[in-house]
Amino acid sequence: MSIRFDQRVAIVTGAGGGLGRCYALELARRGARVMVNDLGGALDGTSGSATRAQAVVDEITAAGGEAVANHDSVADREGARRMVEEAASRFGSVDILVNNAGILRDKTFAKMELDDFAAVVDVHLMGSVNVTKAAFPFMKEQGFGRIVLTSSSTGLYGNFGQTNYGAAKLGLVGFMNTLKLEGARYGIKVNCVAPTAATRMTAGLWPPGADSALPPERVVPAVIYLCSEDGPTGHIIQAGGGYFARVAVVEGNGAVLGPEATAEDVADRYGEIADLGGGRTFGDGVEFVTTILKTISESSG
């Protein structure tokens, strides 16, 4: 087993079942001391129970690992702070953070109450921000950190009835894109996983046979790699059923229409503008602007 986490401390949010449970178990199996966070709530985020997180802790300790349960809500800033400080106090540091907690309140946008939109964003996007904000100083001080954010194919590509969920999940990509730059000087790597797995959040959504082909355990290798010493930073990894692929925002070669371009010019050359052949990725906004300025300069002779 070449990837190990001995002496590392990991926090996994939403780890009382499904994907989070699988991440916590595997991190512990590879030597990490794990905080298992779970509010124990229903899919929509209501109610709560301490039993779910403790059950996972019991699994880990029964196998000889070290773990502690936490029941704070990631959507509560003080709860996020307590969670991180408890992990640091109990185990001595915070090295790895897997932001996995989530809720669903699906409905078409026309019928969705804005409170339901905000609740999903508060857990998925702001919940990840809250816990990361609390953990970041520990990682910065020790010169090491691994942060995994959970995006989704819904955020990347869309899914009917999930505008709230999709907005939150793509927002996490934007969060990653800048945090990877700010964390680099401190040895902190930040990535997104976009999992496809059969969990209670997907019950009844997929065609027959999909659940057996997409158990949550088959996402775990991607997350373990992203938590490792040699993992990348700033990547989005799709993972499900043994399938793994990097996803990226790409830009085509575009067209330089000149400073006097009109809307009609855009319409006339839109096929060229929209062509993603030879698509490029950019490491940050400065690289993007530099490349575009060079393209404009070269086109003007």
pLDDT tens per residue across span 112-153:
999 999 999 999 999 999 999 999 999 999 999 999 999 999
| CA-closest candidate to residue 104, choices 53, 158, 164 | 164
Q: How confident is the model at residue 44 (pLDDT cuts 50, 70, 90)?
A: low
Mean pLDDT of 45-72: 91
pLDDT at 15 over 90: yes
165 noted as active-site residue: yes
**CA distances from residue 119 to 27, 37, 40, 233 in whole angstroms, order as listed:** 29, 19, 16, 29
Please tell me whether residue 24 adopts helix, strand or coil conformation: helix
pLDDT score, position 220: 97
Whole-number pLDDT of residue 207: 64
Kindly report, residue by residue over 184-242, the tens digit of the pLDDT.
999 999 999 999 988 666 666 666 666 778 899 999 999 999 999 999 999 999 999 99
Q: Answer whether 127's CB lies under 8 Å from 79's CB.
A: no
* Domains detected in the chain: 9-247 (3.40.50.720), 263-299 (no CATH)
Residue with tokens 């997929």: 206
Average pLDDT over residues 36-41: 89
The pLDDT of residue 9 is above 80 = yes
Provide the phi-psi class of 279: left if phi over 0, else alpha when psi is between -120 and 50, else beta. Answer: beta
Q: Which two tokens stand for residue 37?
A: 């966070």
The whole-number pLDDT of residue 40 equals 82
Element holding 68 (H helix, E strand)? strand 67-70
Cα separation, 298 vs 133, in Å, equals: 43
What's residue 50's pLDDT?
74
Per-residue model confidence (pLDDT) at position 47: 64
Among 197-206, 243-252, 264-273, the least confident range: 197-206
For residue 299, what pLDDT band results from cuts at 50, 70 and 90? confident
Residue among 165, 186, 225, 270 flagged as catalytic = 165
Determine what percent of the chain is predicted with pLDDT higher than 70. Answer: 93
34 phi and psi, to 5 degrees? -120, 130
CA distance 171 to 116: 17
Phi, psi of 98 (to 5 degrees): -110, 105
The pLDDT score that the predictor gives to residue 214 is 84
